[in-house]
Amino acid sequence: MNPKITVALAPMEGVVDPIIREVFSLIGGYDLMFTEFIRVTQNLNPDKVFYKFCPELKNGGKTFYGTPVTVQLLGSDHSAMVDNAAKALELGSHGIDINFGCPAKTVNRHDGGAALLKDPQRVGRLLEELLRQLPCSSGVSAKIRLGFEDTKLLPDLAQILKSLPLKHLTVHARTKLQGYKPPAHWIEIKNYFSGFSYPVFANGDIWSFEDWKKCFQVTECAHFALGRGAFANPALGQQIKLNNPRALSWNEFTESLLPLFYQKSHEYRDHHYALCRLKQWLKFLGRNYTEADVAFSKIKTLKSFAPPADFWNTL
């Protein structure tokens, strides 16, 4: 057991929806989770938006299996961000996470996500305003990248963040321009984010237990945020926490996890949504399970789908 290691399920738009959070909470190994980002413009989002992205708010801000969930906000308008953060906290979010890492062009064009990394002072001012306006116990955290086009501003960004009393910080070890192209530059986390008074989560290219060990050695971090690697290997959190590389068997997927995932996705939206999400997950699982590739080939051309009771046994 690694009692001092903290593992988070990283926020990923279009991937880590409430259903994945519930399933991964059941699997175990994840100490905290985040919502997909909620876009903040100049207005206060209605309650239904928060409940859509984070139905766990109706359960004390935790998944059915007890994992705390933090609402993540994306925006740049100070007043609106404060108002939406306050609303999320009022509804039961376990802290507030601010997205400074999204590389999507549409988001960046509208002055959100990684676009703010072009000016570290703007990042600092927004976080300072949230820290000033929200209750001290709120717990404001942030997710960043190493920069926008390059890392020239990283020293300034790191110094600004180090001076703030954040709950924690997640660092995706690439710039916006690098997107998700390997490798992640873990050494920059050690170079610029060591010695912080609060936890720093290393993020990026942790696909396996072996990757985690390398990241641990390079960054010397005790906190890790798993994104695409967890989606491809759902037991990765448990492997890290237990210091044991045992993976889930394919039978565990077909007997419980995939049926549960599909059923809950259908209840959350409809069969079409559930089918699209199932295809997406199987594609990721194919990285580690040949059976997932075979299963994907069976359903990839389907446009609609209502699985018979014995369907999962055929995968």
Centre a 10 Å sphere on the Cβ of residue 300 and count the other Cβ atoms it contains. 10
Tokens found for residue 107: 């988001």
Integer Rg of the chain from CA: 19
- Crossing angle of helices 258-268 and 18-27, rounded to 10°: 150
Question: Does residue 102 carry a catalytic annotation?
Answer: yes
Q: Which two tokens stand for residue 196?
A: 């912080």
Cα–Cα distance measured from residue 122 to residue 116, given in angstroms and rounded to the nearest whole number: 6
Provide the token pair at 53. 């992205």
Record the tokens describing residue 115, joined without a space.
């676009």
* CB neighbourhood size of 48 (10 A): 8
Task: Write the CB contacts of 3 (distance below 8 Å, at least 6 apart in sequence).
Answer: none
- Using alpha carbons, select from 117, 98, 125, 120 the residue that is nearest to residue 39: 98
CA distance 7 to 173: 16
The amino acid occupying position 287 is: R
Task: Provide the token pair at 117.
Answer: 């990394």
Of the candidates 54, 102, 215, 221, the residue annotated as catalytic is: 102
Distance CA 17, CA 27 (A): 16
Query: Which of the residues are catalytic?
Result: 102
